[in-house]
Amino acid sequence: MSNQPSMIRSLIAQDNPFNTTDELLQWIRRRNEEIKVAIEPADLKSMDQWYMDGDGCLRHRSGKFFSIEGVHVETDFGPRQAWDQPLINQAEIGYIGIIAKEMDGVMYFLMQSKVEPGNVNHVQISPTLQATYSNCTRVHNGKQPNYLEYFLNVRPDHIILDQLQSEQGSRFIRKRNRNIIIRVDDDIEVKEDFRWMTLAQLKSLIRHDNLINMDTRTALSGIRYANYMDNNTDWEAFSPLGRDLILSANAPHGLHSLDNLLFLLTRLKVKYTLKITPKPVNKLEEWNIYDDRIARADNQYFQIIGRKVSISNREVLSWYQPLLQPLEKGICAFIIKKIKGIVHFLVQAKVECGNFDTVEFAPTVQCSAENTNDPYRQPLFLDYIENADSKQVIYDTLQSEEGGRFYREQNRNMIVVASDDFETEDIPDNFTWMTLYQINELLRYNNIFNIQARSLLAALPYAEQ
């Protein structure tokens, strides 16, 4: 194994001389005890540095960070043709950045224990740098984020990954962040809230509920492991599924060609229409503004709430902000199946109102509980996912969405291996099968795979857990 590339050694190396996996779990528990966190309700109209304008929109007095605005949506995709809703408008592009360093032939990743106001369990494992543009430019008058200078001054030949990727299309208006992983060669100070981890440890920790945050998952999803394979690769170090995934990651020609998959995406972007029109929040159909929330009259989907936040180790120790609070858990799941000996993923093309370019590829199933409870709107393949035999389920974990904007949101994330009799050909025209190579190739580009799909791809296991 000593001759394997450092990225592959990281993918299978549970042994870490800096921190064992148990020590990392203890570290997170300890930081949860040590960091003082207070998240208190706040009336929307009396939050310091925020104001509600004449249309009922919530805005920061600096004109930066983000705002809560209303839209009217019209589309011919799905069972609902038109509706009103609030959306988060955060036009600026933030950093989701991870520093990597090769040490003794293994690639390590510098990860952060970070508290976000909406986190279910306060401290989660986050990227080295997770900051909005407003944070990086110190609009809040706080300290500069740790390690920012490494990303500002990185040499092109030290970039492992650099992509603009979308966030939740049903919650944000065309939101994107820069997902970037860089390599450093020099010694680097490991500050209090940071630890070195291998990819294998991250893959192990991602199987814990709400431990690896959304930003970490989206950044890790873009690493193309097949690019680091060579003749020295020790296949015995991988699990049988891991070997199948690497084979799929080296398979450019699957059930469909990459060109045909791009043709499908283009055809669906032309087929489906999406029109979003700004609309005052105080005039949204079925939505009401209360002192402490903006919510639907039937209390479905989500609501906008205000919170006063105090976190003892942040660049700014206390602030007010609105958060989007979901009212039900959702489910995001991939069905995978070997087709002609190669693992394929069943992917759907999905329209969401905030998408940058109408359609993005999504997991096989992506829905909220409101959809699952309505038999007329129940997503395809949901029954198959929920009734799968335990032997078919290779991943089943509750994962948090981004705690800086969403309040205690968690979705059930699943990967299910289809049985031999699962239908391969007779699927709706907005679904298709892809190899991991094809997914990785498309992930190189902006706004093709949504964040729910990327979150699941980050969890793919390659070594025995």
Would the pLDDT of 1 be above 60? Answer: no
How sure is the predictor about 231, in pLDDT bands with cuts at 50, 70 and 90?
confident
The whole-number average pLDDT for the span 337-355 is 97
User: Which pLDDT value is given to residue 237?
Assistant: 86
**Dist CA 83 CA 71 (whole Å):** 9
Q: Which amino acid is at 252?
A: P
Number of domains in the chain: 1
- In this predicted structure, the answer to whether residue 139 has a pLDDT above a threshold of 70 is no
- The tokens describing 107, both together, are 């690639």
Measured from the Cβ of residue 148, the count of other Cβ atoms closer than 10 Å reads: 16
User: What's the mean pLDDT in 4-22?
Assistant: 93
Q: Provide mean pLDDT across the span 34-54.
A: 96
pLDDT for 49-100, tens place per residue? 999 999 999 999 999 999 999 999 999 999 899 999 999 999 889 999 999 9
Contact between 73 and 84 under an 8 Å Cβ cutoff? The reply is yes
Residues 401 and 255: their CA atoms lie apart, in Å, by 32
Cβ(402)–Cβ(410) below 8 Å: no
- Of all residues in the chain, the percent with pLDDT exceeding 90 is 88
Mean pLDDT over residues 1-17, rounded? 84
Output the pLDDT for position 87.
Answer: 98
413 near 332, Cβ under 8 Å? Answer: yes
- State percent of the chain over pLDDT 70: 96
Is residue 285, in this structure, part of any structural domain at all? no
Distances (CA, A) of 437 to 175, 222, 225, 334, 371: 26, 12, 10, 16, 32
Work out the average pLDDT over 96-114: 97
Q: How confident is the model at residue 142 (pLDDT cuts 50, 70, 90)?
A: low
Mean pLDDT across 351-362? 97
Contacts for 388 with CB less than 8 Å, ≥ 6 apart: 416
406 within a domain of the structure (yes/no): yes
Assign 84 to helix, strand or coil.
strand
What region does 20 belong to: left with phi over 0, alpha with psi -120 to 50, or beta?
beta
pLDDT tens by residue, 378-422 = 899 999 999 999 999 999 999 999 999 999 999 999 999 999 999
Residue 163 lies in a domain: no
Nearest to 246 by CA among 259, 263, 233: 233
128/182 Cα distance (integer angstroms): 10
Average pLDDT over the chain reads 94
Count of Cβ atoms closer than 10 Å to residue 31 Cβ: 17
User: Is residue 430 in a domain?
Assistant: yes
Q: Is the pLDDT of residue 315 over 90?
A: no
Domain that holds residue 378: 248-274+328-458
Long-range contact pairs involving 143-146 (C-beta distance under 8 Å, separation at least 24): 143/315, 144/315, 145/95, 145/315, 146/112, 146/191, 146/193, 146/194
**Residues 436/248, Cβ–Cβ less than 8 Å:** yes
Q: Is the pLDDT of residue 138 over 80?
A: no
pLDDT at position 3 over 90: no
Assigned domain for 169 exists: no
Q: How confident is the model at residue 42 (pLDDT cuts 50, 70, 90)?
A: very high
Angstrom CA distances, 274 to 166, 282, 361, stand at 17, 23, 16
Q: Is the four-CA dihedral 444, 450, 451, 455 of positive or negative sign? A: negative
Q: Is residue 362 part of a domain?
A: yes
For residue 265, being part of any structural domain is answered with yes
Query: CA-to-CA distance for 449 and 11, rounded, in angstroms?
Result: 23
End-to-end CA distance of the chain: 18
Distances (CA, A) of 56 to 51, 61, 275, 304, 306: 9, 15, 22, 12, 14
Query: What is the per-residue pLDDT for 374?
Result: 62
Whether 368 has a pLDDT exceeding 50, the answer reads yes
Residue 44 lies in a domain: no
- Residue 97: the pLDDT is 98
Q: Which of 20, 9, 191 is nearest to 107 (CA)?
A: 9
Q: In this model, does residue 2 exceed pLDDT 60?
A: no
Instruction: Residue 110: name the closest of 216, 256, 247, 20 by CA.
Output: 216
Any idea what DSSP says for residue 229?
-
Q: What is the CATH number of the domain that holds 367?
A: 3.90.79.40
d(CA 452, CA 401): 9
